[in-house]
Amino acid sequence: MTAERSASDSLSGPALHIGGWLVLIAFGLIVSVGGNLLNCWKLFQFLTAAPSIKGGIGLAVVMLEVFIQLFMLCASVVLVALFFFRKRTFKPLFIAYIASLFCLGLTSVALTASVPGVSAEVVGQAMTFPIYVFLLGAVWVPYFLISKRVKSTFVF
């Protein structure tokens, strides 16, 4: 594949600047890096203050939560860089990120629900994340797949 843009890859003319609805994505990505840092810090504080978690499903839930938070932090930093450098790989990686968050969120809910003694309220709170990610994906994934602006912006 060549480094040059073809007419089928984007609209004719130079690459577009980040504008239109993409400004919302830019804002969301920047805020998500800060939010992910804060969540990692809160998780670290919880793990250092909590009594030791003995094996079993409780440990699996905590380890999955650590993985999800670190994944979200690393991925959001990478996505911010790809977004502002208007890299062609941003679009498929953003869509894969949304899909993976949805799957990880559902897995987290299933593990949380399987912990003995966990209340329905806690499981309901855990369900808010995959629902949020589903709604996020329902709005932005079609936009990224259909939008001419997206095709003309992420060209490098």
Q: What is the spatial distance between Cα 106 and Cα 100, in angstroms, rounded to a whole number?
A: 10
Global pTM value:
0.82
Each residue's pLDDT tens digit, 103-142: 999 999 998 898 888 899 999 999 999 999 999 999 999 9
Q: Which amino acid is present at 36?
A: N
Each residue's pLDDT tens digit, 60-100: 888 898 999 999 999 999 999 999 999 999 999 999 999 99
Q: What is the spatial distance between Cα 119 and Cα 129, in angstroms, rounded to a whole number?
A: 17
pLDDT at residue 30 in the model: 96
Residues 28-53, mean pLDDT to the nearest whole number: 87
HSE-CB of 46 using CA atoms within 13 angstroms:
11
Residues 83 and 25: beta-carbon distance below 8 Å: yes
Domain parsing of the chain, residue ranges? 22-153
Residues 22 and 149: beta-carbon distance below 8 Å: yes
Q: What is the spatial distance between Cα 55 and Cα 148, in angstroms, rounded to a whole number?
A: 51
pLDDT at residue 2 in the model: 44
